[in-house]
Amino acid sequence: MKWWRKNWFPVMIFVAVGAGLAFPPVGSPAGPWKPDILVKFAVFVIFFFQGMVLPLRELAGGILHWKFHSLVLVFNFLLAPALAWTLFAAPWSPVAASAVPGFLYLSILPTTISSAVALTVASGGNSSAALFGVTLSNLVGIIMVPFGIVFWMSAGGQDVNLSLADAFWRVATLIAFPMALGQITRIVLPVVGKWAKPRVGPISQMLIVFIVWILFAQSASGGDWSQFGTVRLLWTCFGVALYFSAFSGLFLLVWRRAGISRKDATAAYYCATQKGLATGAPMATAFFLSASEAGEMPPLGLILLPLMLYHPLQLAVGSLIASKARAKMA
């Protein structure tokens, strides 16, 4: 039971993938489920709840910790996509064109929120710095993810058919607006904010499982899943493991020259190298769903696949590092 409480989310993600592929009518646009409306509603609720628990006032107290935040943000939004482009999208890369958007999208996302802070605490790192770091990363991501999609996707030879103005409009309407409503609710009705705080994680995770289920069913109902197979899955697993290893190694090379303490470096590692499925899955629907349905990009399930494989990998490695750190502290 204890194992299930800790790992139910990544397990259910893959159950949702299987359910979506096994029952494609659920994702049919002409079906009774109205998947587009349901997915957009789920995305709205996720970012509304994230806005309700966003600690903006507390963030102001840690913003002056500039070396730490600079390190995290540079890794999140500059080094991460540059590494992904080098490995998967550069002219010398042998990667199939349909696989490139997934790796590039994974790389431009902000960090996780709950797991980065929890693993920092478990590893004896600076938990307050981690909290500030993940909050700032996700706020900056509202601006940087649209830039990343337009710039890095174009640099990788992907025609996203999305202008920067259009990208920001989608962020404003589908992400920033519900987050702002959530923040207003937190200020005007603090009792509601306190009620929501312990429930945001489980509610958001359940909604993400629902989104993944619908999106994979949608891909299967359109016949798009024919380009996916065992070889593609194994290759994507290898690519994700390679990217995570290279990214972690790059962090170890850089942090010693960053002039921060070991406790700060522990927090920075989790904030810099982890990528947020809770943010990435709903964001993908805002940017790629229409292009995917029109056949201008690969199925949205394939775009999300590297992120869904990266998420359990980062949790497994982070938990292993945390357990070793606890053993040293004991």
CB-based contact 117:130 (threshold 8 Å): yes
Check residue 84 and give its pLDDT: 94
Please give the C-alpha separations between residue 7 and each of 12, 46, 151, 265, 309, in angstroms, as whole numbers.
9, 20, 35, 26, 14
Gap between the Cα atoms of 44 and 233, Å rounded:
31
Check residue 48 and give its pLDDT: 86
Gap between the Cα atoms of 72 and 102, Å rounded:
22
Gap between the Cα atoms of 123 and 114, Å rounded:
14
Check residue 161 and give its pLDDT: 64
Q: Which domains does the chain have, with CATH numbers?
A: 35-324 (1.20.1530.20)
pLDDT tens, the chain, 330 aa long: 565 566 666 777 778 777 777 776 665 665 566 666 777 788 888 888 878 877 666 555 556 677 888 899 999 999 999 999 999 988 888 777 778 888 999 999 998 877 788 788 788 888 778 888 888 888 888 888 888 888 877 766 666 666 667 777 777 777 788 888 888 888 888 888 788 777 777 887 788 788 778 777 776 665 555 556 667 778 888 999 999 999 999 998 887 777 778 888 888 999 999 998 878 888 888 788 777 766 677 777 788 889 988 988 888 888 888 777 766 655
